[in-house]
Amino acid sequence: MSGGHGSRPPLRVTGGRVFLVGAGPGDPGLITVRGVELLGRAEVVLYDELTSAELLLLAPDGALLINVGKRGHAHPTRTQDEINALLVEHALAGKRVVRLKGGDPFVFGRGGEEASACVEAGIPFEVVPGVSSAVAALAYAGIPVTDRRHAASFAVVTGHKDPTRAARQTRWHELASAVDTLVILMGMRNLPELVERMIESGKAPETPAAAVMDGTLPEQQVVVSTLAALPRRVADAGLGAPAAVVVGDVVSLRDQLAWRETMPLHGMRVLVTRASLQSGELTSALRDAGATPVLMPLIELVAPSDRETLAEINAALDHLERYDALLFGSSNAVRFFADHARAAGVDAKFAKLGGHVLCIGAKTARAALDAGLPIHFVASGRGDAESMLREILQTMSPEGRQVLIPRSDIGRNVLPDGLREAGARVDTIQVYRNVRPAVDGAELCRDLVSESLPVLTFTSPSTVNHFSDLLDESARAAVSRCTIAAIGSTTARALHEAGFAPDVVPERPDVNELVHGLVAHVAALRQESREQEEQEEET
């Protein structure tokens, strides 16, 4: 690690450390494995304005998250000196500090200055490289920076400075002829002047060029033209920062190699109402289909804290061996049950359970296995309580059995009531609770009325009920114009009861099946629209 000029100050023995982590160009999936690991152990995270909300979810509960407001070279909320001071302050307090930076820390990211601040304060640091938008944004646009048919070299320059000063510092005359592909970052504000300098320096006006805004994100936009026409085309399309500009013959490959825009849900904003701790799989599946997930958790799952409920949980855990069966209706029930068992120091009993462990669906079973529980029965039907009850009654006799069902505070009574009717003795314990987080209902209503949220997803009746309560009259009417997806039949019933008709209900309550259903529904709508247009043209 290098820290600048002169002798290096001795490292302070504080336990604190700074990690300069490249978050990548925007797509949260492009962060490095090392970056994910460090975020998961961070005590303080200083992040840029453009950092994905999904990456911040990787930080532990209780970590201090500080938005330092850097958005390219727009006016930052905090100066660079203030950011440096925050890094030093928290590290000297013994904290593990992650500085989460867009792209790569050392590619026009001022990571070198932050590293120097650490050296001067005697703080150990580590640099975790990130994927730079100079390469990634173009790749997502179907434009390789090099290709042996067109380009064997490329250069990356910054275009944010005053054009006259940039003309002196960036040797445009040499660059115009020295490299095959030229990439300009932070150059949208000065694009007309920069293009003029390039042409004056010998770059042919007809050279293929492109601008990629919001590169690697589902809302990515691309404008392709000649170099001379690029500023006008960019202005006409309304493109702005953040964007990467590329100049060179490789741009001509976009017609053949563009892949982002062919994704089935490209550019569609999709409301994700699931609890934040559970939203990762759904948001990932949506991004894989090209959609833009809009995270608005309408429920949060928390462990109970009142003395009476905790006493009931501990009483059941103290006498686990008396139960003939443990029945889990969700992976959340497994997770919270296992957490309570570990806190009580009785999780070692899992390996010695004499009773059967019954799970609803493969994901619940996987969660149980991960918790150290043996699995004896996995319901394979629709994934709801009714189908699980039928399968249990078909495969075993509940009569006389003692059954424990860990569940939420709003758990349905289908399973306990059905098993009791069949002769079982059933205890239920509330191992977690559903609570309503604070939500900006006015913003949600505005998005619905403006039709900027064309797709809505719901994964439980609780999300449906909270959503319905947030709507005003105009927003409620706007919902009828949205595509609505329910993860299963129980959630679909809640939607119908709230006055909304779901368009997509997968046969099994699975997030991947939910997204597959959305893809098929959207494809059918687009096909119907094309056929209607063809009929109108014929008439």
pLDDT at res. 2: 41
Model confidence at 169, pLDDT cuts 50, 70, 90, reads low
Average pLDDT over residues 202-221: 93
Model confidence at 15, pLDDT cuts 50, 70, 90, reads confident
Model confidence at 381, pLDDT cuts 50, 70, 90, reads low
* Same fold flag, 269-299+438-527 and 308-433: yes
Which of 95, 101, 104, 186 does the annotation list as catalytic? Answer: 186
Q: Specify whether 268 is catalytic.
A: no
Q: Specify whether 48 is catalytic.
A: yes
Structure tokens, 177: 């002829």
Asked if residue 149 lies in contact with residue 255, where contact means CB atoms within 8 angstroms, the answer is no
Model confidence at 6, pLDDT cuts 50, 70, 90, reads low
Average pLDDT over residues 500-508: 94
Greater confidence (153 vs 73) lies with 153
- Which contiguous run of DSSP H or E holds residue 325? strand 325-328
Greater confidence (384 vs 484) lies with 484
Which of 27, 70, 95, 203 does the annotation list as catalytic? Answer: 70
Nearest to 97 by CA among 128, 129, 51: 128
Q: What is the architecture of the domain spanning 17-130?
A: 3-Layer(aba) Sandwich (3.40)
Asked if residue 473 lies in contact with residue 511, where contact means CB atoms within 8 angstroms, the answer is no
Distances (CA, A) of 59 to 24, 43, 53, 97, 273: 17, 8, 11, 11, 20
Nearest to 467 by CA among 443, 496, 444, 497: 444
pLDDT at res. 387: 86
β-strand pairing of 483-486 with 455-458: parallel
pLDDT at res. 51: 86
Evaluate if residue 287 carries a pLDDT over 70: yes
pLDDT at res. 53: 82
Evaluate if residue 75 carries a pLDDT over 90: no
One-letter amino acid identity for 188? M
Average pLDDT over residues 265-286: 89
Q: 3.20.20.140, 3.40.50.10090, 3.40.50.620, 3.40.50.10470: which CATH number matches 269-299+438-527?
A: 3.40.50.10090
Evaluate if residue 348 carries a pLDDT over 90: no
Model confidence at 244, pLDDT cuts 50, 70, 90, reads very high
Among 122-136, 140-154, 362-376, the minimum mean pLDDT is found in 362-376
- Within 8 A by CB and 6+ apart from 383, the residues are 360, 361, 488, 508, 509, 510
- Within 8 A by CB and 6+ apart from 215, the residues are 25, 26, 133, 136, 137, 138, 140, 141, 242, 243, 244
pLDDT at res. 164: 46
Average pLDDT over residues 88-103: 96
pLDDT at res. 20: 98
Topology of domain 135-260, per CATH?
3.30.950
Query: Is 28 in a helix, a strand, or coil?
Result: helix
Q: Specify whether 396 is catalytic.
A: no
Asked if residue 178 lies in contact with residue 106, where contact means CB atoms within 8 angstroms, the answer is no
Measured CA to CA, the distance from residue 165 to residue 171 in angstroms comes to: 11
Give per-residue pLDDT as tens, 464-489.
Answer: 999 999 999 999 999 999 999 999 98
Evaluate if residue 119 carries a pLDDT over 50: yes
Evaluate if residue 172 carries a pLDDT over 90: no
Evaluate if residue 161 carries a pLDDT over 90: no
Which of 48, 104, 384, 510 does the annotation list as catalytic? Answer: 48
126 C-beta neighbours (distance < 10 Å), count: 15
Give the largest CA-CA distance in the chain: 90
Instruction: Show me where the domains of the chain are located.
Output: 17-130, 135-260, 269-299+438-527, 308-433
Peptide bond into 242 cis (omega under 30): yes
- Straight-line distance from the first to the last Cα atom of the chain, in angstroms, rounded to the nearest whole number: 72
The domain 308-433 having CATH identifier 3.40.50.10090: the answer here is: yes
Average pLDDT over residues 430-453: 94
- Which contiguous run of DSSP H or E holds residue 315? helix 307-318
Model confidence at 3, pLDDT cuts 50, 70, 90, reads very low
Evaluate if residue 163 carries a pLDDT over 80: no
Give per-residue pLDDT as tens, 19-50.
Answer: 999 999 998 889 999 999 999 999 999 999 88
* Residue that the structure tokens 């833009």 belong to: 292
